[in-house]
Chains A and B, each alone.
Chain A
Amino acid sequence: DGGITQSPKYLFRKEGQNVTLSCEQNLNHDAMYWYRQDPGQGLRLIYYSQIVNDFQKGDIAEGYSVSREKKESFPLTVTSAQKNPTAFYLCATLGLAGGLRTGELFFGEGSRLTVL
């Protein structure tokens, strides 16, 4: 099946621990994104990557890190420096049609992180 796979779906961590969320896609899309969702606040952009080995900070990058070593994979690490990490995290890719960007994002099912 073509799509975006995020894992784990649910994750618990203790304060002071780093945690890495996985995002894998087989849509052959170049650009990938991480968004954070909090109740009543919509989605906010954490990091994005337009191409392999390149990534840019979004609006709320502090306390997060990413890597983009392969086209298919864009993992997000939530570090201990993130003050309020409990949230729903969504990975997305940018659609292509005929090799051109469509502007449309395709989303994974999300990962819910709870800090105890």
Chain B
Amino acid sequence: AQSVTQLDSQVPVFEEAPVELRCNYSSSVSVYLFWYVQYPNQGLQLLLKYLSGSTLVKGINGFEAEFNKSQTSFHLRKPSVHISDTAEYFCAVSDDSWGKLQFGAGTQVVVTP
């Protein structure tokens, strides 16, 4: 079974600064990779996904992620954050398209003025 490691539990960042959230997964022949965002007391919303094709994936709200097969990583980036980006971010991986995702423990992003 897949496993996912999010290397930072909390990331403080100033408004308009860049942010990178790190995610590593256990190796597999093929993987489906996802980043979700969760605002307090709400469900999860998909930011972006990698199924195949280009290794640089662009998502909503200006986020992007790069799939690196050799390093088994899928790091999330945003060049300039807003206060509204304060939330918890989850990396998830699956071996197939059946939706049985393995989630990382989450990274709390706190954006301050």
Q: Give A residues with C-beta under 8 Å from B.
A: 4, 31, 33, 35, 40-45, 48, 50, 58, 90, 92, 94, 100-110, 112
The CA of A103 and the CA of B41, in the complex, are separated in Å by: 24
Q: Give B residues with C-beta under 8 Å from A.
A: 4, 9, 32, 34, 36, 41-46, 49, 51, 90, 92, 94, 96-101, 103-106
Instruction: Check B90 against A102 for contact (C-beta < 8 Å).
Output: no
The CA of A92 and the CA of B101, in the complex, are separated in Å by: 11
The CA of A105 and the CA of B46, in the complex, are separated in Å by: 8
Q: Give every chain A residue within 8 A of B100 (Cβ-Cβ).
A: 33, 45, 48, 58
| Chain B: CB-nearest residue to A102 | B97
List 24 A–B pairs whose Cβ atoms lie within 8 Å, in order of A's numbering: A35-B103, A41-B105, A42-B104, A43-B90, A43-B92, A43-B101, A44-B103, A45-B101, A90-B44, A92-B99, A94-B98, A102-B51, A103-B34, A103-B49, A103-B94, A104-B34, A104-B99, A105-B34, A105-B99, A107-B43, A107-B45, A109-B42, A110-B42, A110-B43
